[in-house]
Structure 1
Amino acid sequence: MKKLFLALTTFMLAAPAFAATATSSIPMSVEIAKQCTFSNVASEMILKEDGSDTTAGYTVTCNTPYSIFTDNAKWYDGWYSYISNAQNEWLKTGVGTRAVSDNALVTLHSGTALARPGYSVDDYEVSIHVSTPITATTRAGVYTDTYLINVYY
């Protein structure tokens, strides 16, 4: 048995070398599209009559750098946001948004969007309060506005 093994080893080593070779290759790739998504978005914010802050949040997940900008649907001459009722009576509001990770303020209504590095899951907190005092003669009813979030990537 030992002799046979040696003979096979010798035979394999003595096999003739190939005179030429041929090679080929197949390139491979995958393209991952840029994307940003929202999650954990509050479905509604009920503002407090006493003027204290109401807070809510949302999450932005991006696989690329992005900028974020917020706005409200209702503005008076671009100077302040407001909520209004069916009779178009207004109550001024104060709005602020910050990135939870580093407390960076997100631009509201005008100015430069906040640049973010991306490749992350980022939480944001929005705080809104009624800044017009609500008195005994403030008309009863539902006052509304819409908070808007824009992500550019």
Structure 2
Amino acid sequence: MKIFVQSAAFLAVLLGSGLSQAATTTASIPMGVDVPKSCTFSNVSAGIVVPEDGTEVVGNFKMSCNTGYSVLFDTDSSRLTSSGTYVKSAQNIKLLTNTSVTLWGFSTPIISTMTYIDPWPNYIGEQSGSIRVKLANPTIATTPAGIYTDTLNMTVTY
């Protein structure tokens, strides 16, 4: 009987101590944000008027990306030929141009198509670029009058 009383007393102490202690529980809820990949152009020159005397003119743009990317620069004329760029009139008269693009401090002439590839994170963020154009030969008195055009195309893949 003595063992039963000791066991009952021990059980009462054990149960009593469990009721007097604070209980704790925890939970966690994961939190996060999904930032989509993005690239944008801004401050793009509205147009470039190529001087007829052969001097160079510059157009500007800014490009911002939050992820790695590659960018392709070409012109409508360079897509049609592998021998350079030109401005063309409505009568299909072509005046050769020297056209180059500068991005990340590197300048490259557009001959047919060219691609800058950005495999490194140090180019993420806003980058300033420019396009430089000039006639290969100034116009002369016998150059047919008219409006001569070409278009720079910038395609970013990210």
TM-score range, shorter chain: 0.7 to 0.9
> Contact 2:88–2:95 at 8 Å: present in 1 too?
yes
Q: Does 1:121 align with 2:123?
A: no
Give 1 or 2 for the bigger CA radius of gyration. 2
| 3-state DSSP of counterpart to 2:73 | strand
Higher mean displacement: 110-119 or 70-79:
110-119
Structure 2 distance, partners of 1:61, 1:94, is 27
Structure 1 distance, partners of 2:88, 2:114, is 25
Distance 1:56 1:71, change over 3 A: same
Pairing 1:65-84 to 2, within 5 Å after superposition: 65-75=68-78, 77-84=81-88
Structure 2 distance, partners of 1:98, 1:111, is 12
Distance 1:94 1:84, change over 3 A: same
Q: Kindly report the root-mean-square deviation, in angstroms, between the aligned alpha carbons of the 2 structures.
A: 1.8
Structure 1 distance, partners of 2:136, 2:108, is 20
How far apart are residue 89 of structure 1 and its match?
0.4
> Contact 1:107–1:113 at 8 Å: present in 2 too?
no
How far apart are residue 111 of structure 1 and its match?
4.5
> Contact 2:71–2:115 at 8 Å: present in 1 too?
no
In the other structure, the counterpart of 1:93 is: 97
Q: Does 1:35 align with 2:38?
A: yes
Structure 2 distance, partners of 1:81, 1:133, is 15
- Count of paired positions: 135
Q: TM-score, with normalisation over the residues of structure 2?
A: 0.77
Structure 1 distance, partners of 2:96, 2:153, is 17
In the other structure, the counterpart of 2:106 is: 104
> Contact 1:107–1:114 at 8 Å: present in 2 too?
no
How far apart are residue 80 of structure 1 and its match?
1.0
In the other structure, the counterpart of 2:59 is: 56
In the other structure, the counterpart of 1:25 is: 28
How far apart are residue 150 of structure 1 and its match?
1.5
- Percent identity between matched residues is 33
Unpaired segments ≥5 residues, structure 1: 1-15
Runs of 4+ in 1 over 4 A off after TM superposition: none
Unpaired segments ≥5 residues, structure 2: 1-19
